[in-house]
Amino acid sequence: MAKSTSNFVCQNCGATSQRWQGRCESCQEWNSFIEETPSSGIAARAVRGAGKGRVFALEGLDGENREAPRIVSGIAELDRVTGGGFVPGSVILIGGEPGIGKSTLLIQACATLAKRKHRVVYISGEEAVAQVRLRASRLGLTSAPVELAAETSVEDILATLRQGKCPSLVVIDSIQTMWTDAVEAAPGTVTQVRGSAQALIRYAKTTGACVILVGHVTKDGQIAGPRVVEHMVDAVVSFEGEGGHHFRLLRAVKNRFGPTDEIGVFEMTGSGLSEVSNPSALFLAGRDSSAPGAAVFAGMEGTRPVLVEIQALVAPTSLGTPRRAVVGWDSSRLSMVIAVLEAHGGLRLGQHDIYLNVAGGLRVSEPAADLAAAAALVSSLTGAPLPANTVYFGEMGLSGSLRPVAHAGQRIKEAAKLGFRSAVAPEVPRESGPLTVRACGHIASMVADIAAAGA
């Protein structure tokens, strides 16, 4: 085995170097290198001898290839994101800013599972047992038989877990507070986080317990500590929310056992997180449909249709270079829509500041939002409000042509459910239900429609 000589580890991104560096070459962070002794675990295993690997057929014997039953948490929005419940033996990393509600969500999940006769262990490295109890009592969950421990040593935790029946779910809050004897680095360093995660993952794989690791995120939204932890786990879920809003989005970033485009929507209330099963109503609440520059986009988040309002503000600029600012959407996508509107829609936007906002703090990543964004921009520029009770969806090509998008039927059904009466889309879908769908094949015809309505 090659001798490991990299002794300095960047505490921001996990890059290693043989020499100390003032600035990390891979993440450009200053003063992030700390000397760490490399883990001795791998070398020890190499000495113990090889030849213990066993191979298995892809298809198991009768009954063996049946999928292990998932552990359904009973919190529908959480189960939706995990792909139908926790997979036994899997490890999930859940990241989010401090105070967003990670501990609250997990203690609620633990309580519902424990009430269904699962053994559930919640290990806090940040709060004392009394504090966790206090939170649980505030949430009205004190009767649930969840086992609590305030512990940061991975070896002690594993010893605790091995006593008694194998737990169905183990929550480690948070992975950054854990340390293991196997590596000789200070607690909180990248090497410790990685070593602790490795030990806990090995525990999950060998016993079949599902382990959830809570991870802090840095100011730019990355899960702090090495990216390698993200590669080691089976699923990475992020818990997001906007400062001023009460609702929170749970989003799978990676999932070996399920889809990654599902979102779970929660609302933070005085008594914990409550599920929001109809997010469209929440995102559209308080909308002023008579104001120019607002278009309702009928989007899809995973398998669920979600309606959001896209707001645009187009105003003459007083700067040499006009400002372009986007919240909740891709800025290069906005540049493209602006370029197409100028080239094929006959609009002049070069002397205008442009702001685009997805209301409610949702992040839209679908190309299907092009048409709604374009409609909002045109409406704001011309000052003509868009027709009331109308939703928009469709992808825009560079030629100005509009292309149909998937799940048109579902988008329209959701819009009808929320009281919308018409839709503008690239083509009339087969089932349009009670909605009148106006087919709009080119961006120029949409611009003409909006201008005609405003005149």
Give the C-alpha separation, 419 to 414, whole Å. 9
Does 311 engage in binding with Mg ion (CB under 5 A)? no
Closer by beta carbon to ligand TYD, 9 or else 268: 268
Instruction: Single out the residue of 115, 133, 135, 287 in contact with ligand TYD (rule: CB under 6 A).
Output: 135
- Stretch in the footprint of ligand TYD (CB under 6 A) among 13-21, 134-142, 178-186, 352-360: 134-142
Contact 407, 367 (CB under 8 A): no
Report CA-CA distances (Å) from 365 to 52, 124, 301, 331. 46, 35, 9, 11
Residue 442 CB neighbours (<10 A): 17
- The amino acid sitting at 200 is L
Instruction: Single out the residue of 272, 292, 302, 426 in contact with ligand TYD (rule: CB under 6 A).
Output: 272
Give the C-alpha separation, 403 to 243, whole Å. 36
User: In angstroms, what is the C-alpha Rg of the chain?
Assistant: 26
Question: What minimum distance in Å lies between the beta carbon of 71 and ligand TYD?
Answer: 21
- List the structure tokens of 93: 């990393």
Question: What minimum distance in Å lies between the beta carbon of 237 and Mg ion?
Answer: 15
Strand partners, 289: none
Instruction: Single out the residue of 98, 145, 346, 434 in contact with ligand TYD (rule: CB under 6 A).
Output: 98
Residue 365 CB neighbours (<10 A): 14
Does 101 engage in binding with ligand TYD (CB under 6 A)? yes
Q: Is-cis flag, bond preceding 196, omega within 30?
A: no
Q: In this structure, is the dihedral angle defined by the CA atoms of residues 193, 199, 203 and 206, taken in order, positive or negative?
A: positive
Does 176 engage in binding with Mg ion (CB under 5 A)? no
Does 103 engage in binding with Mg ion (CB under 5 A)? yes
Residue 162 binding target from ligand TYD, Mg ion, none, CB below 5 to 8 Å by type: none
Closer by beta carbon to ligand TYD, 134 or else 453: 134
Instruction: Single out the residue of 22, 53, 69, 270 in contact with ligand TYD (rule: CB under 6 A).
Output: 270
Does 380 engage in binding with Mg ion (CB under 5 A)? no
**Can you say how many angstroms the Cα of residue 388 is from the centroid of all Cα atoms in its chain?**
32
Does 145 engage in binding with ligand TYD (CB under 6 A)? no
**Can you say how many angstroms the Cα of residue 52 is from the centroid of all Cα atoms in its chain?**
39
The alpha-helical segments, DSSP class H, found in 49-188 are 76-82, 102-115, 129-138, 154-162
Does 102 engage in binding with ligand TYD (CB under 6 A)? yes
Instruction: Single out the residue of 103, 124, 192, 311 in contact with ligand TYD (rule: CB under 6 A).
Output: 103
Question: What minimum distance in Å lies between the beta carbon of 245 and ligand TYD?
Answer: 12
Contact 345, 315 (CB under 8 A): no
- Stretch in the footprint of ligand TYD (CB under 6 A) among 55-63, 264-272, 311-319, 357-365: 264-272
Residue 272 binding target from ligand TYD, Mg ion, none, CB below 5 to 8 Å by type: ligand TYD
Summarize as ranges the residues that interact with Mg ion (CB under 5 A): 103
Summarize as ranges the residues that interact with ligand TYD (CB under 6 A): 96, 98-104, 135, 138-139, 268, 270-272
